């Protein structure tokens, strides 16, 4: 592993040097990448525009060398490690893949806690600024956001929720796995990039993820049934290695800070929410797919079944009740229009 890391560092450094030699006059080159391809929604419409804006606001003082589609590592679980090891300087992180490093982000995954991704993103940034999210002390955090509420999506026809019993379903982390068990399914830990192939091969028959991810990862053509309830969102953050950030010039830091904070977090969350809403509408119009949406009364019943997850979240961490109270306070703040 150490040899592999050394090779990757050397490759990234050589590529950055080549980038400079081709006439780029920026004072600083920052390496960035992720496991998702450059044509996916999150990279194309969120990350790349953010990079271009920072470059513009820096007056050309910084340029980003981009490694999309898993060029540095195809594993979502390795992105933080790559950033800390200097293989890349800037990246997006999905904390549920490395839950032990970021144990407090899982409040996002509590079913029925948020109405939509923008609301959840507002709360996420507030929680960060209030010091309630552990694991971020070595990172400069530019944005914290979520996807839209997750749905349960199946490659087989279901006509009622009770038919979920025993179905193998993809889960991103322990919180998602717990929700699947409540619904009667059998969770299988898996990266989102593996879902389409696993559904096609019959390794799993369902997946638990945001609607906004279905198209990006080519899952939609394999899905026959959706169960649409607010099963919880997944939190993300966009970060820069803290030591790297500290070493940047004042001009570059100012450009990054200009593109940091609540406005970016809400924008990213809102973009995911809008995309998910569009896919929900598309699914409802598709005669080949069945969308199961329980009534408000039935959903209230399911909410009670998930209460133990809230209780467990509180007891599993120091000051858990205070942190959950902060989540609910910030959520109320958002709903009042603050």
Taking the whole predicted model, whether its pTM rises above 0.75 is answered as yes
Q: So what's the pLDDT on residue 174? A: 86
Residue 128 falls within a domain, yes or no? yes
Residue 10 falls within a domain, yes or no? no
Question: How many C-beta atoms lie closer than 10 Å to residue 162's C-beta?
Answer: 9
> Where is pLDDT greater, at 8 or 249?
249
Residues spanned by the domain of 296: 90-338
Q: So what's the pLDDT on residue 25? A: 59
Residue 18 falls within a domain, yes or no? no
Residue 321 falls within a domain, yes or no? yes
Nearest of 208, 218, 190 to residue 154 by alpha carbon: 208
Residue 276 falls within a domain, yes or no? yes
23 sits in the region (left: phi over 0; alpha: psi -120 to 50; else beta) called: left
Q: What is the pLDDT of residues 75-92, one digit of tens each?
A: 989 999 999 999 999 999
Residue 31 falls within a domain, yes or no? no
Asked whether the predicted pLDDT for residue 129 surpasses 50, the reply is yes
Residue 51 falls within a domain, yes or no? no
Residue 38 falls within a domain, yes or no? no
First-to-last CA distance in the chain?
48
CATH code where residue 197 lies: 3.40.190.170
Say which DSSP state 86 is in. T
Residue % of the chain over a pLDDT of 90: 85
Rounded to 5 degrees, what angle do the CA atoms 299, 108, 277 make?
Answer: 60
Quick one: pLDDT band at residue 96, thresholds 50, 70, 90? confident
Total domains in the chain come to 1
Residue corresponding to tokens 């209460």: 307
Mean of the pLDDT values across residues 303-323? Answer: 96
Mean of the pLDDT values across residues 168-184? Answer: 92
């Amino acid at each position: 592993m150490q040899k592999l890391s050394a090779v990757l560092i050397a490759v990234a450094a050589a590529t950055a040097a080549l980038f400079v030699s081709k006439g780029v006059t920026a004072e600083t080159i920052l390496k960035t990448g992720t496991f998702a391809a450059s044509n996916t929604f999150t990279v194309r419409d969120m990350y790349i525009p953010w990079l271009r804006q920072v470059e513009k606001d820096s007056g050309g003082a910084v340029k980003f060398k981009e490694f999309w589609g898993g060029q540095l590592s195809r594993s979502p679980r390795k992105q933080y490690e790559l950033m800390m090891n200097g293989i890349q300087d800037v990246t997006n992180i999905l904390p549920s893949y490395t839950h032990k490093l970021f144990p407090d982000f899982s409040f996002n995954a509590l079913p029925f806690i948020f109405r939509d991704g923008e609301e959840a993103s507002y709360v996420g940034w507030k929680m960060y600024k209030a010091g309630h999210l552990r694991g971020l002390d070595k990172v400069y955090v530019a944005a914290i956001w979520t996807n839209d509420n997750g749905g349960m999506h199946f490659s087989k026809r279901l006509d009622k929720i009770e038919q979920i019993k025993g179905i193998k379903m993809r889960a991103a982390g322990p919180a998602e796995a717990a929700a699947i068990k409540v619904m009667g399914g059998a969770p299988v830990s898996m990266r989102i990039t593996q879902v389409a192939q696993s559904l096609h091969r019959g390794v799993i028959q369902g997946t638990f993820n945001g609607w906004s991810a279905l198209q990006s990862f080519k899952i939609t053509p394999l899905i026959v049934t959706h169960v649409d309830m607010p099963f919880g969102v997944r939190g993300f953050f966009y970060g820069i290695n803290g030591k790297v950030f500290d070493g940047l010039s004042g001009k570059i830091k100012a450009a990054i800070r200009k593109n940091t904070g609540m406005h970016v977090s809400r924008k990213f969350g809102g973009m995911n929410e809008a995309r998910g809403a569009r896919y929900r509408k598309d699914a409802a119009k598709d005669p080949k797919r069945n969308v199961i949406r329980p009534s408000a009364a039935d959903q209230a019943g399911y909410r009670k079944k998930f209460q133990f997850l809230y209780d467990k979240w509180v007891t599993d961490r120091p000051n858990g009740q205070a942190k959950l109270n902060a989540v609910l306070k910030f959520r109320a703040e958002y709903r009042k229009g603050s």
